[in-house]
């Protein structure tokens, strides 16, 4: 039940921050936001500033006070998931000086880009929190500096190959290897050598997953039977080595002082943003040139499943994953598809170049 709640809250935060970005940037562009809601309708309670009295008024249910409104309705809605903006004339149904299409192309552009900016900002916040409370990093890559605290976690699984013996046995990303067949190992190389000698034999891994300790049995196979030729390379000796389909690394928990945590959060956000953007480029490149899909497309249910699994590993891993999804959402929204912010931004840019506003009917089609 707690895991389901964590998934619900995590996805809700992502959506809420995206909509909050549109809200803030619409206000900056002086576009009227008729309602900014937390959760989805029906409305439970609303707060609004009345034009005649210049006072705030609380009201309940769907019915809006009859007095003329001069500001946005801030509402709490029945379905507590994410949020929404109701922007005046967003669909072109009304054009007034304070409506969406009553503004210049650059003002509309600012409003549209707001969700993306806020998702990037959310990633910076979450990554910064991770670096402050302690983020897991490969021990060999840690630069020891003043005021940086380092606590060794152990040898951790950082990747699990799909359909490998490890995945079928139930080993997951983030698992910490405590022992194999009752033996402790200090270095990852020692584990590789041990598994290599056990091809075809059952081995037992004692792992730590969150606060739980589990024992998992698995049978190593030659790497050639787990990985593709492209992944292994031309080295025949390497192809005959034993493995179970995991990549692991010696990991430590690193905590930074606040000012460094913020700087590392900003740096990590933009490095990750660049990597995801390049990944999206590769996906479209392979689809267009070769007609094949790189990786897999994951929907909301799939993302929710991943969030639940990551939460089981630890809170800091959850924050990292939500940061990653926030950046992925930002980049996805920039793709120039009609239903996304990117599609609408394209129309705004065309108008900026041609100096002519595209008809609402053309844009709707």
SS3 assignment for 47-77: EEEECCCCCEEEEECCCCCCCCECCCEEEEE
pLDDT, mean of residues 271-293: 86
pLDDT at 2: 78
- Give the model's confidence band at 68: pLDDT under 50 very low, under 70 low, under 90 confident, else very high: low
Taking all residues of the chain, what is their mean pLDDT, rounded to a whole number? 87
- Give the model's confidence band at 162: pLDDT under 50 very low, under 70 low, under 90 confident, else very high: confident
Statement: residue 241 has pLDDT above 90 = no
3-state secondary structure labels for all residues of the chain: CHHHHHHHHHHHHHHHHHHHHHHHHHHHCCCCEEEEEEEEEEEEEEEEEECCCCCEEEEECCCCCCCCECCCEEEEEEEEEEEEEEECCCCCCCCCCCCHHHCCHHHHHHHHHHHHHHHHHHHHHHHHHHHHHCEEEEHHHCCCCCCCEEEEEEEEEEEECCCCHHHHHCCCCCCEEEEECCECCCCHHHHHHHHHCCCCCCEEEEEEECCEEEEEEECCEEHHHCCCHHHHCCCHHHHHCEECCEEEEEEEEEECCHHHHHHHHHHHHHHHHHHHHHHHHHHHHHHHHCCCCCCCCCCHHHHHHHHHHHHHHCHHHHHHHHHHHHHHHHHHHHCCCCCCHHHHHHHHHHHHHHCCCCCHHHHHC
pLDDT at 4: 80
pLDDT tens readout for residues 107-145: 999 999 999 999 999 999 999 999 999 988 888 778 777
Closest CA to 85 of 118, 17, 36, 43: 36
- Helix axis angle for 105-133 and 258-289, nearest 10°, is 120
pLDDT at 117: 96
pLDDT at 69: 64
- Give the model's confidence band at 205: pLDDT under 50 very low, under 70 low, under 90 confident, else very high: very high
The whole model's pTM is what? 0.84
User: Comparing 348 with 141, which gets the higher pLDDT?
Assistant: 348
Backbone angles phi, psi at 273, to 5 degrees: -60, -45
Q: Are 100 and 90 in contact (CB under 8 A)?
A: yes
User: Comparing 85 with 8, which gets the higher pLDDT?
Assistant: 85
Beta-strand relationship, 203-209 and 176-180 = antiparallel
Task: Flag the least confident range among 38-42, 170-174, 201-205, 308-312.
Answer: 308-312
Statement: residue 238 has pLDDT above 80 = no
Task: Count the Cβ atoms, other than its own, within 10 Å of residue 275.
Answer: 12
pLDDT at 81: 80
pLDDT at 291: 77
pLDDT at 65: 66
Statement: residue 346 has pLDDT above 70 = yes
pLDDT at 127: 96
pLDDT at 143: 76
- Give the model's confidence band at 152: pLDDT under 50 very low, under 70 low, under 90 confident, else very high: confident
pLDDT at 295: 67
pLDDT at 264: 94
- Give the model's confidence band at 317: pLDDT under 50 very low, under 70 low, under 90 confident, else very high: confident
């Amino acid at each position: 039940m707690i895991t389901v709640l964590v998934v619900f809250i995590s996805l809700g935060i992502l959506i809420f921050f995206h909509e909050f970005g549109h809200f803030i940037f619409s206000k900056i562009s002086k576009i009227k936001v008729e309602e900014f809601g937390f959760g989805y309708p029906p409305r439970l309670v609303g707060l609004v500033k009345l034009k005649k009295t210049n006072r705030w008024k609380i009201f309940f249910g769907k019915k809006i006070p009859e007095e003329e409104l001069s500001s946005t309705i801030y509402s709490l809605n029945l379905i507590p998931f994410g949020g929404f903006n109701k922007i005046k004339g967003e669909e072109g149904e009304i054009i007034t000086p304070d409506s969406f299409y009553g503004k210049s192309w650059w003002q509309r552009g600012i409003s549209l880009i707001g969700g993306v900016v806020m998702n990037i900002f959310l990633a910076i916040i979450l990554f910064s929190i991770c670096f402050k409370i302690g983020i897991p990093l490969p021990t060999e890559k840690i630069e020891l500096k003043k005021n940086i605290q380092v606590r060794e976690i152990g040898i951790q699984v950082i990747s699990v190959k799909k359909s490998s013996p490890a995945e079928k046995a139930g080993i997951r990303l983030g698992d910490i290897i405590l022992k194999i067949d009752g033996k402790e190992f200090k270095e990852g190389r020692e584990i590789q050598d041990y598994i290599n000698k056990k091809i075809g034999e059952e081995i037992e891994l004692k792992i730590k997953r969150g606060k739980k300790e589990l024992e998992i049995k698995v049978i190593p196979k030659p790497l050639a039977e787990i990985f593709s030729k492209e992944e292994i390379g031309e080295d025949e000796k390497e192809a005959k080595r034993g493995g179970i389909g995991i990549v692991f690394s010696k990991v430590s928990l690193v905590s930074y002082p606040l000012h460094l945590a913020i700087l590392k959060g900003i740096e990590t956000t933009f490095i990750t943003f660049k990597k995801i953007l390049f990944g999206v480029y590769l996906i479209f490149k392979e689809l267009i040139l070769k007609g094949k899909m790189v990786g897999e497309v994951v929907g909301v249910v799939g993302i929710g499943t991943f969030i639940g699994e990551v939460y089981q590993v630890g809170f800091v891993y959850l924050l990292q994953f939500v940061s990653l999804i926030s950046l992925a959402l930002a980049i996805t929204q920039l793709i120039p598809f009609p239903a996304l912010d990117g599609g609408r931004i394209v129309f705004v840019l065309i108008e900026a170049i041609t100096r002519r506003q595209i008809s609402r009917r053309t844009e709707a089609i």
